[in-house]
Structure 1
Amino acid sequence: MKKQSYAGVATAVYVNYAIVGMATIFISQYSTYFQSAWHTNVKGISLVLAAVGLGRLLTIFLAGSVSDKIGRRKTMLISMVSDVIFLLGAALAHNMIVAAIAAIFFGFTNSFGDTSCYPALTDAFPTRSATMNSLVKAFMSLTQFLFPFWVSTVTNALITALSLSVFLVLDILFVCKVQFASQDKQGQLKEIQEAEHIEEPVTSVQPAMAIDGTLLIAMGFTICFTFYVFSQYLPNFGTSVLKVSPEQAKTLVSFYAMASMISVFVTAALVTKVKHLLLISIYGTVAALALFMMILVPSLTTARIGSVAIGFFAAGGIWQVGLSILTSYFPTGNGKLTSYYSFMASLTYFVGPLVSSFVISDSAASVLAVFWITAIIAAATIVIAIWLLVRSQRYHFE
């Protein structure tokens, strides 16, 4: 019997996430435009961004159950329709309330997208799921690298929203036609375990959920907080702290996204050769140092170096490495643990902008305060990773 090809599933997922990548920085890239359209300021923009996190928090646990019950295709369609509502709603809004409601829908996009697209790839490519899933981040990073150049040319957010929505509608039609793989894992379980070389402890000493599990889940928050808040307020750092033009400030996001895209492939190679917790410790240290450098020695050069460093060492897939450690430590109940880990990322989308809204304004000092908070959180990643690394010596995971 000829083996079913699921290239269509992969194409649909990658196109979707390429658009999600741009939608993620849509508000921050058009911040000046939206401040005028919504009759608000940078604090208002932060509150709208926090609404994205709220939407994700409200649906992250529900979305997983929905995906398992009604299927990957229908759940993915919910995500994509929510994205269209967000883009058009934000672009057409004339006040913060409507904008915040639209932003909540982008939270839905994230929840239903993550719980349908990643599993859909795993269903279709059980022996290559790690590689296929890592390419999601690569496509997001690629479009985030290119998007600032688009924004510098197309200054009207509504035109951009309409353009992205057209691509989403085309992808929706494509998703309705492609063949999705079965969700039945019984026949694939052994194949997955052999292909992914799931780590087993060679001693009777086991990781403790109360300590190791809690620390790993907390690290899911600190890693995500670092790169998400950084990417959202990087343009503000350029205009308020460095006093460069908005167009030049937005290109810093391109440096960040380019490094993130490269890191996806480099990190995928390194995780097969370097102990995972050691890798996170090294990556976390470089990311934190880069942030402190940007804060203490602000210049366009250090900002570019910092953007590349954060993109590579914080946003290039190290969050997924933390998840792989969690599931290898506790191989039973992976679905529940993954939900907890993803919940911490969802919390970041809400807490990061919300906290920043109390601090940030158009002044350089306020933007630097947001970056100080981010740097401290980044430093917490180092502490947690080293703590886990020391504890891991007793488990002797191979």
Structure 2
Amino acid sequence: MEAEETSLPRRRHASLATAIYINYAILSMAQILISQYSSNFQVMWRTDLHGISTVISMMGIGRLLTILFAGDFSDRFGRKPVLIVGMIANFVFLAGLMFSHSMMMAAIFSLFLGFANSFDDAAAYPALSEAFPAKSASMSSLVKAAMSLAQFGLPFLVAAIPNASITLGILAVVVLIDLVLIVMSRFAPQGTVPESAEEKAKEAAVAKESSEQQSARKPSMKIDGIGLIALGFTISFTFYVYTQYIPNFGTSVLGLNDVAAKSLMSWYAIFSLISVFVTTVLVTKVKPIYLVILYPLISLVFLILMVAFPSVMLARITSAVVGFFAAGGVWQLGLSVLTQYFPQKKGKVTGYYSFAAALTYFVGPFVSSFIISSTAASVLQVFWIDVAVTLLGVVIAVFVQLRNRKYRFFV
């Protein structure tokens, strides 16, 4: 009977989880679609690579414009309507690009993908957390798996369908079908927390304490919340800066040719995908807060080794390590901890956490632009910055864990 009750929520929300993963698969493909079809779009929009970069940058601007209030909307109006808004925005992006005949039109529609990303993050992660409270971290990690698999498969789709408009049309139709699935899916009540027998017992024990003691033992948004949000920034910074400049490291520091330097990203991509599945299993055995410390720490060690003792072999190993430990789902684990700390404000804190990560896409290149050049010394300086930010992330994670010891009924 107990097993039946446990499996019931899984069956009840299976369609919801499936729809969310499909949505993120399409979203992840949309994020790199323009670069994959760059030459095609240059002809369609009568522009060059600079124009293509401008269109891509508008995605980040759209995300930053909406990410903060999207979380508040999710808490206030519910996960389903906000998720629907995000999916409609994604459809507008795909359909809009299909009919765009200038860079300006494409840039405007590119904003909608940023909107979609914000509203999807603000609704989908909390919805999964509420639908599967006992497996919140692993279900959130599977979002990364869906995205990685989709991005891995997109180049093959591009090779099979060289016409960008056809691919856009196919993805737009899939979004509409998935939208129907979301509308028909059952969402869990908002603000739920894990309800295992052990946690119920802990909750009952906590309820006996005075209101003052209970309040003192709850996470503080001003301390724990800000710490975890900052952690979202440092985690994203580590792998984003690495992926942007590891080809430069290969050519300028290691003396590799262009093809060999870019191949370092292959190691990163493969191990990032492997990590998603390993972490999904591991998180059922180990508390997420411990992995949020361990993963960045391992990345930090290998980043320092690679920068201090540059070699081709070490660069390949470090690419694999950063892909596995920095990009394979640890960001989602940090978000899982944050939403468990503040279950009544899941949408809002998700928005703050995502906003911190989105800042990476501006801060990383902006800071690096003052340093980077074709010299080995300048590239090494950029990576030392990556090391420093990763170290800061480890310090923040340890600090959050030390305070977490007071919140035994949380994570």
Q: TM-score range by the shorter chain?
A: 0.7 to 0.9
- Aligned 1:30-179 pairs, distance under 5 A: 38-40=47-49, 50-67=57-74, 72=79, 75-83=82-90, 86=93, 100-122=107-129, 125=132, 128-147=135-154, 153=159, 159-160=163-164, 162-177=166-181, 179=184
Could you tell me which residue of structure 2 aligns to residue 313 of structure 1? Answer: 325
Q: Does 1:244 align with 2:257?
A: yes
Secondary structure of 2:298's match?
Answer: helix
267, 277, 291: which one pairs with 1:265?
277
Q: Does 1:180 align with 2:185?
A: yes
State the Cα distance separating 1:272 from its structure 2 match. 4.4
State the Cα distance separating 1:172 from its structure 2 match. 1.3
Distance 1:375 1:167 in 2: 38
Distance 1:323 1:143 in 2: 22
Point out the more displaced range, 125-134 or 50-59.
125-134
Question: Which runs of 5 or more structure 2 residues have no equivalent in the other structure?
Answer: 1-7
Secondary structure of 2:327's match?
Answer: coil
State the Cα distance separating 1:387 from its structure 2 match. 3.0
167, 192, 195: which one pairs with 1:193?
195
Give, as a single letter, the amino acid of the residue that structure 2 aligns with 1:287: S
Point out the more displaced range, 110-119 or 80-89.
80-89
- Aligned 1:294-305 pairs, distance under 5 A: 294-305=306-317
State the Cα distance separating 1:86 from its structure 2 match. 4.5
State the Cα distance separating 1:223 from its structure 2 match. 0.8
Give, as a single letter, the amino acid of the residue that structure 1 aligns with 2:172: L
Say if 1:254 and 1:83 are closer, same or farther in 2 by CA, change over 3 A: farther
Q: Does 1:210 align with 2:215?
A: no
Say if 1:367 and 1:19 are closer, same or farther in 2 by CA, change over 3 A: farther
Distance 1:235 1:336 in 2: 36
Whether the 8 Å CA contact 1:56–1:108 is kept in 2: the answer is yes
Distance 1:169 1:221 in 2: 34
Could you tell me which residue of structure 1 aligns to residue 234 of structure 2? Answer: 222
Q: Does 1:290 align with 2:302?
A: yes
Distance 1:195 1:318 in 2: 27
Secondary structure of 1:193's match?
Answer: coil
TM value normalised by structure 1: 0.76
Whether the 8 Å CA contact 2:304–2:387 is kept in 1: the answer is yes
State the Cα distance separating 1:259 from its structure 2 match. 1.8
Count matched residues.
388
Say if 1:301 and 1:94 are closer, same or farther in 2 by CA, change over 3 A: farther
State the Cα distance separating 1:26 from its structure 2 match. 4.2
Distance 2:302 2:256 in 1: 20
Say if 1:182 and 1:106 are closer, same or farther in 2 by CA, change over 3 A: closer
Distance 2:368 2:37 in 1: 18
Distance 2:317 2:280 in 1: 22
Distance 1:273 1:176 in 2: 35
Point out the more displaced range, 219-228 or 292-301.
292-301
Could you tell me which residue of structure 1 aligns to residue 4 of structure 2? Answer: none
Give, as a single letter, the amino acid of the residue that structure 2 aligns with 1:20: L
Structure 1 residues 78-99: Cα deviation after superposition (integer angstroms, max 9, x where no partner): 4344345556767998987666
Secondary structure of 2:195's match?
Answer: helix
Give, as a single letter, the amino acid of the residue that structure 1 aligns with 2:398: I
Distance 2:374 2:42 in 1: 12
**Bigger CA radius of gyration:** 2
Whether the 8 Å CA contact 2:16–2:187 is kept in 1: the answer is no
Say if 1:120 and 1:369 are closer, same or farther in 2 by CA, change over 3 A: same
Q: Does 1:379 align with 2:391?
A: yes
State the Cα distance separating 1:110 from its structure 2 match. 0.9
Identity within the alignment, %: 49
Whether the 8 Å CA contact 1:223–1:319 is kept in 2: the answer is yes
Secondary structure of 1:316's match?
Answer: coil
Distance 1:363 1:155 in 2: 39
309, 325, 339: which one pairs with 2:337?
325
Give, as a single letter, the amino acid of the residue that structure 2 aligns with 1:141: S
Distance 1:237 1:34 in 2: 29
Say if 1:135 and 1:98 are closer, same or farther in 2 by CA, change over 3 A: same
Whether the 8 Å CA contact 2:67–2:351 is kept in 1: the answer is yes
Distance 2:157 2:382 in 1: 27
TM value normalised by structure 2: 0.74
Superposed CA RMSD in Å reads 4.2
Say if 1:132 and 1:386 are closer, same or farther in 2 by CA, change over 3 A: closer
State the Cα distance separating 1:219 from its structure 2 match. 1.0
Give, as a single letter, the amino acid of the residue that structure 2 aligns with 1:109: A
Give, as a single letter, the amino acid of the residue that structure 2 aligns with 1:388: V
Could you tell me which residue of structure 1 aligns to residue 360 of structure 2? Answer: 348
